[in-house]
Structure 1
Amino acid sequence: MTGEAPSIGPPGGSMGLGAMTDRIGPDRVVGVPLGEITSLAYDSRHVEPGALFFAVPGEHTDGHLYVTDAVDAGARAVVVQQELPAPGAPQLVVANSRYALADAADLWFAEPSRHLATIGVTGTNGKTTVTSLCAQILASAGQRPGLLGTVNIQVGDELQENLARATTPEALELQELLARMVAVGNQTAVIETSSHGLALGRVRNCRYRAAVLTNLTHEHLEFHGTFEAYRDAKALLVDEAPLAILNRDDPSWAVLREHARDRVLSYGVHEEADVRASELRVRSDGSHLAVAAPGWSGTLDIPLPGSFNVENALAAFTFAVGWGIDPDLAAKTLATAHGVAGRMERVDLGQPFSVVIDYAHSPDAIEKMLRVLRPITAGRLIVLFGSAGERDLLKRPEMGRIAAELADLVVVTDEDPRGEDPEEINRQIADGARAASAKDDENLWVINDRRAAIAHAIGLAQPADTVLLAGKGHEHNMFVASGSVWWDEAEVARQELHAAGYPRTSDVTEDGARQESAP
C-alpha cells in the first residue's frame, strides 16, 4: 500500500463537474457541464440538489424514465445512454451508464482500492464461507481485513449483518464501503463477488489482487442465458487478478485457466493440483485431511461439517499459500475457524431428530447437502425447499429430481416467489420429483405456505431423522408479490418446534438443564 489513505468522499463534499466529466469520458456532451456536484445517485428518489444522476437500465425499470424527476429534484447533470429531449440539465451521453457510475464512484471516493489489497471470491457454491475463511486467515496474519459477503460486512474490526439481498452491491455503495475500510485502517478487503456484479460492472475499479474460484454449476441462467455466458462472467475476475486460485477438480478448470493472466495455484484431489488433498476423513463435526502444497506438507483439521467445507477450506488454504502467508499459520487458523450463519446451521430444542438450515438453493448445492447429511443420519432424510420466482426456471425440475432421488421425504414450498405464481413454481419442482418416482402424500408434499410446510416437515420427523430446511439460510425477509415480508428460518423453525411440544418436559432435569438428544 502506498500513499495517504483517502477520506470518505471528496474534500469539502463536492467536486467539479468538469473533472468528473473527464473521468467518465462521455461519447458526447449535451449542454455545458459547469459547477460543482455534491453527490452521486442512480435512484431519482435519492437525488439531492447538486447531484450527478446516472440513468441506469435495470431488471424491472429503466433509469432513463426518471431523468425528469431527477432534474426536478435538483440534479446538476445527468448521465444517459441516449440523448433525451430537453431534460433541463447537461447530459453526458455514454455507452454504458453502469460503467460510468463505477468510474465516477471510484473517483468520488478517491480510488480506495489503490489503498487496499482486494481479494475476490466467486463461484456457484461456497463463496460466502470461503470469503469468511480467507478473512479469518488474513486476520491471523495481521493483515487486518475488511469483508463484504452475502451474510456479513466487516469495516475495521466491526462485523455487522449484511441486510441487503444482493451479494455484490452497486458500484456506488461498494466503493463507499471500500473507502470506509481504508479510513479505519483495513489493509485488505475480501469481496464475495457475484456473477451479476461482474457482468454488470459493479466491481469495476476494485483492482483485484487475487481471484479465488470455488466451483461452477447450474445457476442464474435467467440472467446469463447459458452456462457458457455464466462461466464467462465468472472468468472476468480471473482476467483481472494477477493471482488466480482455481479448483482443479471443477469441470471448468481448463477454460478458467486460459483466462489467468499471471500466477495460478490450483487445489483439489486431482493428482495435478498444486495444493492436493488426500486421506480425507469426514466426521459429523468436521473433517481431517492430508495436504501437500509447494514447499509444505501437513494436515488440516476443519471444525466445519460436510465434505463441501473441505473444498471451501482447501480453497482458503490455497489462497493463503499463494498470498505468501505461512501455511502452518493458515492451518492453525482453519483448525479453529467459525462458520457462517445459515450454512449447515442446527436448530436444537432437545428434539430427538436433527433440524438443519442451509442456504442451498441450486441443484448442486441441494445435492451436496443431501449427500453430506445422509451418512450422518441414522433415520430418514427429510428435505424442504423451493425455488425463487423470476429466476432460473430450468433448475426447478432438476432440484425436484435430485431431492426425490436423495431424500426419503420431500416437502416443496415457497422461496421468494416475487411476482410469479407460487403454485406454478412449486408445480415445476414437484413435476421433477414425480418424474423420479415421488408420490404425492406418500413421500412428496406441496405446501405453498413456508411456515405451514416447516410445521409439516417437523410433524413428519421421527427419532434419528434429519430435517433439512434449504434455500433461505441466513436471510431475514421473503419477497412475495406485494413486496418484502419478514422471515427468519431459524426463528420460525424454533417456533414450530415449540408448537410441536419441544423441549418435552422429560427433556429437562430437576435443576432445569436441558438434556441433549442424540442427532
Structure 2
Amino acid sequence: MPAKLEGKAVNAPPRPAKTEPVPLATLVARADAHPVSGDLDGMVTGATLRAQHVQPGDLFAALAGARVHGAQFAQDAIRAGAAAVLTDRKGADLLKDATVPVLVHDDPRGVLGSIAAWIYGEPSLRLSILGITGTSGKTTTTYMLEAGLRAAGHTTGLVGTVETRIAGQRLASAFTTPEAPDLQALFAVMVEQGVTHVPMEVSSHALSLGRVSGTRFSVGAFTNLSQDHLDFHRDMEDYFLAKAMLFDGRSTREVVNTDGQWGARLVKTDTITVSTEHGADWTATDIKSSVDGEQTFTVHGPHTSFPVRLPMPGTFNVANALLAAACLTAVGIEPEAIAQGLSGVQVPGRMERIALGQQFTAVVDYSHKPAAVALALDAIRAKTSGRVIVVLGCGGDRDAAKRPLMGKEAASRADLLIVTDDNPRSEDPAKIRKAMVDGALAVEPRGEVLDIGNRREAIAAAVAEARPGDAVVIAGKGHETGQEIAGVVHPFSDRDELTAAIREVSL
C-alpha cells in the first residue's frame, strides 16, 4: 500500500497552459503501436499514467505494475476524458469493452517517453538539459550547475531529489526523476516560463524504466558508482549498465569522472574527463581547506585555469565542482560565471552546517550509502579537533545488504555512533538497526556504539554528548521533511530537530 502523507494532498504534476493537439493516427505511426479497437480520427493533447491525473484529451498509459495492471484503472481514466489508452497485450485483454481507441505495444513503458515528448512538442530540443547520473554527488552537482548558469544570467529549471524548480519557483519532488509523461509536461512548462537550461538528476531507475526516454540531453555526466539500489538491480554490473544508458547517444556531450573503475569504462574518444587523482581534461591543484569547511583550489581545463572558492568540505566536493565546471563549459558558460556560481552554492541537506553559536560543529548530510558515509565522515574528521559523534540509520524496503556496511563505515570513523531509525517503511525498525549494529560491532578498533530507535531522541542524545571542538553529524535523511513508518509519512526534519536540540542545550 502506498504511503499516506499526513495533512498533505498529492497534487497533479504541472502541465503547459497550451498544447497543440496531435492526431492519434500520427502517434500510432511514430510509436509503431497497433490499434485493437476504436478509430484513430481523434486528437490527443496530453499524457499520463495515473488515472487520477487524467485531463480531457489525454492518452492514458495503462502499464503493468508490481501488484496490479494499470488497465484496471482505465475506465476511471476514460470517464475523466481520456481520448485513448496505450497498453500491452495483457492490458488490451482487460479492455475489450473500452469506448475509446486502445493501442497495443509490446513495450508501452519504453515508448511512453517518446510519445509524451511528441505530444508536448519535444520540449527537450528547446532546452539545454544537463543530466547528472551516478551514486553520490548528483544533487550537489546539479545545484552547482544551477548556480553557475544563474551567475551567467540564464533562466534555469532544476529537477532532482530535493526539489523541482521552474524559473525560481519551487515544487516538491516525489522522485529523483518524474515519470516520463510528467517529465515531458514539466519541460513544456519550463519552455513556456522562459527557462533556457535545466540541470537534472538522472537515476538508474529513471534510465531503466524509460522515464527519460524522449529526452535529449545537451550534456550527460557521471559522478561515481558505489553500492546502492541492489534491491532493484541484480548486481553492481547491472546497476552500472543502467547508469551507462545516459551515454548511449542521447547526450550530445559526455562528461565523466574517471577517478573510479566504473567511470573509466564510460570513456570514449570524445569523452570529456574529470579527475582529482590523475591526468584528465579537467583537474584541480592547490587544494586548501579552512577550519569552517571552505575550500580553495585552482581548476585546470582545456585552454583555461581559474581559481575557485567552494563553501563545502571534502575532496569529493572538489570532484563535483570539477564535473560542474566541465559541464558548464560544454554549454558555453565562461570561467568567471562558473567561479562566481561555485562560490555561493548552497545544497540543502548536503554537508549542511547548523551554526547557532554553539562550540561544536553540527552537520546534516544525506549520505545513505556506505561509500558516501565514509567520504562524509573522513571530510569531517580531517577538520575536527575533538570527537566525531554520528547519528545514522538505514531505510526499510531497500537494499538490505548495505546495512552492516553502513554500520561498519560509520563505527570505524566515529568516536560515538548512535544507530537509529531512518525510514523503516514496512519493516521492523529493530531488525534494521540490529543489522547495522552487527556491522558496527564487527569493526576493530571502533568507538562507542549505541542503539536509540527514536530518531528525535537519538539526535538529542548526540547533541547532549557534544563538547567544544566536537563534531555532530546527523546522516542519512538530509533534506527530507518526513519519516515513513508503517505506511505513514510523519513530519520530520533532521535540520529542525538538530536545531531544536542545540537550542535546548544552549538554554
**TM-score normalised by length of structure 2:** 0.90
Decide whether the 8 Å contact of 1:265 with 1:322 is kept in 2: no
- 1:229-308 matched pairs, under 5 angstroms: 229-239=238-248, 240-258=250-268, 263-283=270-290, 284-308=292-316
- Asked if 1:225 corresponds to 2:229, the answer is no
- Asked if 1:42 corresponds to 2:49, the answer is yes
For residues 338 and 243 of structure 2, the distance between their equivalents in structure 1, rounded to whole angstroms, comes to 26
- Asked if 1:327 corresponds to 2:335, the answer is yes
Instruction: With a CA cutoff of 8 Å and minimum separation of 6, indicate the structure with the bigger relative contact order.
Output: 2
CA shift in 2, pair 1:153/1:75, >3 Å: closer
Aligned to 2:194: 185
- 1:377-388 matched pairs, under 5 angstroms: 377-388=384-395
Aligned to 2:359: 352
CA shift in 2, pair 1:52/1:282, >3 Å: same
Decide whether the 8 Å contact of 2:155 with 2:196 is kept in 1: yes
Decide whether the 8 Å contact of 1:121 with 1:211 is kept in 2: yes
- For residue 482 of structure 2, the aligned residue among 458, 477, 481 is 477
Mean alpha-carbon deviation: is it higher for 76-85 or for 374-383? 76-85
Amino acid at match of 1:202: R
- For residue 32 of structure 2, the aligned residue among 25, 28, 53 is 25
Decide whether the 8 Å contact of 2:47 with 2:59 is kept in 1: yes
Give the SS at the match of 1:92.
Answer: strand
Decide whether the 8 Å contact of 1:353 with 1:461 is kept in 2: yes
Give the SS at the match of 1:356.
Answer: strand
Aligned to 1:123: 134
For residues 333 and 53 of structure 2, the distance between their equivalents in structure 1, rounded to whole angstroms, comes to 43
Aligned to 2:147: 136
- Asked if 1:461 corresponds to 2:466, the answer is yes
- For residue 403 of structure 2, the aligned residue among 396, 400, 415 is 396
- Asked if 1:101 corresponds to 2:112, the answer is yes
- For residue 383 of structure 2, the aligned residue among 376, 379, 387 is 376
CA shift in 2, pair 1:204/1:354, >3 Å: same
For residues 87 and 376 of structure 1, the distance between their equivalents in structure 2, rounded to whole angstroms, comes to 68
Decide whether the 8 Å contact of 1:211 with 1:243 is kept in 2: yes
Decide whether the 8 Å contact of 1:8 with 1:176 is kept in 2: no
Decide whether the 8 Å contact of 2:221 with 2:327 is kept in 1: yes
Shift of 1:211: 0.9
**TM-score normalised by length of structure 1:** 0.88
Decide whether the 8 Å contact of 1:288 with 1:302 is kept in 2: yes
For residues 60 and 16 of structure 2, the distance between their equivalents in structure 1, rounded to whole angstroms, comes to 22
Deviation track 1:264-288 (CA, whole Å, cap 9, x = no partner) reads 1111134321112223222233112
Decide whether the 8 Å contact of 2:59 with 2:84 is kept in 1: yes
Give the SS at the match of 2:267.
Answer: helix
Which consecutive aligned stretches of 4+ in structure 1 deviate over 6 angstroms post-superposition?
none
Give the SS at the match of 2:64.
Answer: coil
- Asked if 1:444 corresponds to 2:449, the answer is yes
Decide whether the 8 Å contact of 1:16 with 1:34 is kept in 2: yes
Decide whether the 8 Å contact of 2:394 with 2:423 is kept in 1: yes
Shift of 1:49: 5.1
Give unmatched runs, 5+ long, in structure 1.
1-5, 505-519
CA shift in 2, pair 1:271/1:41, >3 Å: closer
Aligned to 1:145: 156
Aligned to 1:3: none
Deviation track 1:141-200 (CA, whole Å, cap 9, x = no partner) reads 3343322222233322x241x422311111122112211111122222211111111111
Give the SS at the match of 1:64.
Answer: helix
Decide whether the 8 Å contact of 1:171 with 1:202 is kept in 2: yes
Mean alpha-carbon deviation: is it higher for 379-388 or for 342-351? 342-351
Give the SS at the match of 1:221.
Answer: coil
Deviation track 1:400-446 (CA, whole Å, cap 9, x = no partner) reads 1111111111111111111111111111111111111588xx81112
For residues 483 and 171 of structure 1, the distance between their equivalents in structure 2, rounded to whole angstroms, comes to 26
Aligned to 2:4: none
Amino acid at match of 1:453: A
Decide whether the 8 Å contact of 1:23 with 1:107 is kept in 2: no
CA shift in 2, pair 1:135/1:179, >3 Å: same
For residues 192 and 401 of structure 1, the distance between their equivalents in structure 2, rounded to whole angstroms, comes to 29
For residues 266 and 102 of structure 2, the distance between their equivalents in structure 1, rounded to whole angstroms, comes to 39
Shift of 1:232: 1.0
Give the SS at the match of 2:483.
Answer: strand
For residues 57 and 330 of structure 2, the distance between their equivalents in structure 1, rounded to whole angstroms, comes to 46
Mean alpha-carbon deviation: is it higher for 66-75 or for 135-144? 66-75
The RMSD of aligned alpha carbons is 2.3
Decide whether the 8 Å contact of 1:282 with 1:307 is kept in 2: no
Decide whether the 8 Å contact of 2:45 with 2:119 is kept in 1: no
Shift of 1:394: 1.2
Mean alpha-carbon deviation: is it higher for 22-31 or for 304-313? 22-31
Amino acid at match of 2:301: A
Mean alpha-carbon deviation: is it higher for 385-394 or for 90-99? 90-99
Shift of 1:295: 1.3
Give the SS at the match of 1:256.
Answer: coil
- Asked if 1:194 corresponds to 2:203, the answer is yes
CA shift in 2, pair 1:206/1:445, >3 Å: same
Shift of 1:38: 5.1
For residues 451 and 60 of structure 1, the distance between their equivalents in structure 2, rounded to whole angstroms, comes to 34
Decide whether the 8 Å contact of 2:164 with 2:172 is kept in 1: no
Shift of 1:50: 4.5
Mean alpha-carbon deviation: is it higher for 292-301 or for 390-399? 292-301
Shift of 1:367: 0.5
Give unmatched runs, 5+ long, in structure 2.
1-14
- Asked if 1:501 corresponds to 2:500, the answer is no
For residues 192 and 56 of structure 2, the distance between their equivalents in structure 1, rounded to whole angstroms, comes to 27
For residues 426 and 95 of structure 1, the distance between their equivalents in structure 2, rounded to whole angstroms, comes to 43
Aligned to 1:10: 19
For residues 271 and 488 of structure 1, the distance between their equivalents in structure 2, rounded to whole angstroms, comes to 39
Decide whether the 8 Å contact of 1:242 with 1:263 is kept in 2: no
For residues 369 and 58 of structure 1, the distance between their equivalents in structure 2, rounded to whole angstroms, comes to 37
Decide whether the 8 Å contact of 2:405 with 2:436 is kept in 1: yes
Shift of 1:463: 2.5
Aligned to 1:508: none
Aligned to 2:214: 205
Give the SS at the match of 2:210.
Answer: coil
Shift of 1:9: 4.2
Shift of 1:305: 2.3
